[in-house]
Structure 1
Amino acid sequence: MPLSPLEHDRRHGELDQVIRAYAGQPADDTPDTPSEALTAYLRHTWHTRPWALATAEVQLREYARNPPGRLRLRLGEFYAIPDVGLPEADIQQWLSCLADHIGRSVENGEAPPPATPVTHWEWHARFPELAQILGGWFSQDMPDEFDDHDAAVDDYVTGTHPQLVARLVGEVSELLALDLDESDAALAVAELGMEVDPPARYSPGAWLALVAERLQSPRADRGPGAAR
């Protein structure tokens, strides 16, 4: 029978996080140089969950040493490595290479310095609540569902716990602190799921700053149509 969620996380949970970091990215790690995807995983995990790195190293190495045999394949009791663009015969060596890079990073205390996200996975891992509102409320269907941008923000706030709204405000502040130029800010919100343009006369950064400002204002101070 398939792995239970608990057993999956116990045996492969952090391995899965590493593999997810390769979505849309080449698995071009070498023994001397980690890929851009692995560097993004290391950068984010070092600065958010450093204790998880040792778990990732163990799970990667264990899977490389003991890939699922025919019985486990037949029963479905295994973690299926998604297609990362490598021949099946090279997967075990690749996983061992990832484990080596992570192990050296931990042993030597070599954490990639903070930087602007460079992969789709890293954008979403670093700004999860911002991805939630942009991808869920500002998709290409937004003009059919809401009168305007303020109405979409209103709807988000109405159905979202205040602590998550506060998290959104913090994530917007963190994004603005990256000091992206207008074109890079547009790429950032697109990576996070926004499929419509900001309101007329606003750049993506200026609009996000306005939303964050309104969300921090006491409800009584917000004008008609403003985000609540």
Structure 2
Amino acid sequence: MPLSSLEHDRRYGELDQVLRAYAGQPADDTPEEPGVALTAYLRHTWHTRPWALATAETQLREYARNPPGRLRLRLGEFYAIPDVGLPEPEIQQWLTCLADHIRHSIETGEVPPPATAVTHWEWHARFPELAQFLGGWFSQDMPDEFTDHDAATDDYVTGTDRHLVARLAGELAELLALDLDESDYALAVAELGMEVDPPAPYSPSGWLAHLAARISGPRADYGPPRG
């Protein structure tokens, strides 16, 4: 039978986080240097959940040493490594390479410095509520569901728990404080799930600033919130 959620997290939870960081990224790590995806994972995890790094190192190494055998494969009691573009015989060596880099980072204290998010995973890990908001309310279907961008924003604010709205306000403030180029703000909102253009006459950063002001204003009670 498939793994329970508890067993999955106990044995593979942080390994899964590492491998999710490779979505859309090559497994280009070498014994000398971690690749872009692992560097993004290290940068974010060091600054948010540093205690998880040792778990990641252990789970990666254990999986590399003991990949699922035929019985576990037949029963479905295993973690399926996503396709990272490597031949199957090279996967175990690659996982060990990742574990080695994480261990080196822990033991030496070498931490990637803070930087703008680079990968799709890193954008979502760093701005989770903004990704929920943009991907859920500003998909390509937004013009069919709402009269305009402000109506979509108001729908989110009035139907979402105020603690999550406050989290969104904080993430917007953090993103704006990075003072990125306009092209980088356009990339950021696209990576975070926005599939429509900002309303005229706003640039991406101007619209984010407008959003920040709008969601921080007074809010009416229109029923039970999302939470």
Report if TM-score (shorter chain) is over 0.5. yes
State the 1:207 CA deviation. 0.8
Q: Which residue of 1 aligns with 2:209?
A: 209
How is 1:169-180 mapped onto 2 (pairs within 5 angstroms)?
169-180=169-180
What is the root-mean-square deviation of aligned Cα atoms in Å? 0.8
State the 1:219 CA deviation. 3.7
Asked whether 1:110 is paired with 2:110, we answer yes
Provide the rounded CA distance (Å) in 1 between the counterparts of 2:177 and 2:106. Answer: 28
Q: Which residue of 2 aligns with 1:198?
A: 198
Question: Residue by residue, what CA displacement relative to the aligned partner does 1:30-77 show, whole Å, maximum 9, x if unpaired?
Answer: 000000000000000000000000000000000000000000000001
Provide the rounded CA distance (Å) in 2 between the counterparts of 1:91 and 1:178. Answer: 37
State the 1:218 CA deviation. 2.8
Tell me which amino acid in the other structure corresponds to 1:11: R
Residues matched between the structures, number:
220
Tell me which amino acid in the other structure corresponds to 1:17: Q
Q: Which residue of 2 aligns with 1:20?
A: 20
Provide the rounded CA distance (Å) in 1 between the counterparts of 2:219 and 2:76. Answer: 52
Secondary structure of 1:123's partner? helix
Tell me which amino acid in the other structure corresponds to 1:68: P
Query: Retained in 1: the 8 A contact 2:158–2:219?
Result: no
TM-score (structure 2 length as normaliser): 0.95
TM-score (structure 1 length as normaliser): 0.95
Percent of residue pairs bearing the same amino acid type: 84
State the 1:213 CA deviation. 1.1
Provide the rounded CA distance (Å) in 2 between the counterparts of 1:142 and 1:209. Answer: 20
Tell me which amino acid in the other structure corresponds to 2:90: D
Q: Which runs of 5+ in 1 are unaligned?
A: 221-228
Q: Which residue of 2 aligns with 1:60?
A: 60
Secondary structure of 2:140's partner? coil
Provide the rounded CA distance (Å) in 2 between the counterparts of 1:50 and 1:23. Answer: 22
Q: Which runs of 5+ in 2 are unaligned?
A: 221-227
State the 1:179 CA deviation. 1.1
Provide the rounded CA distance (Å) in 2 between the counterparts of 1:216 and 1:135. Answer: 20
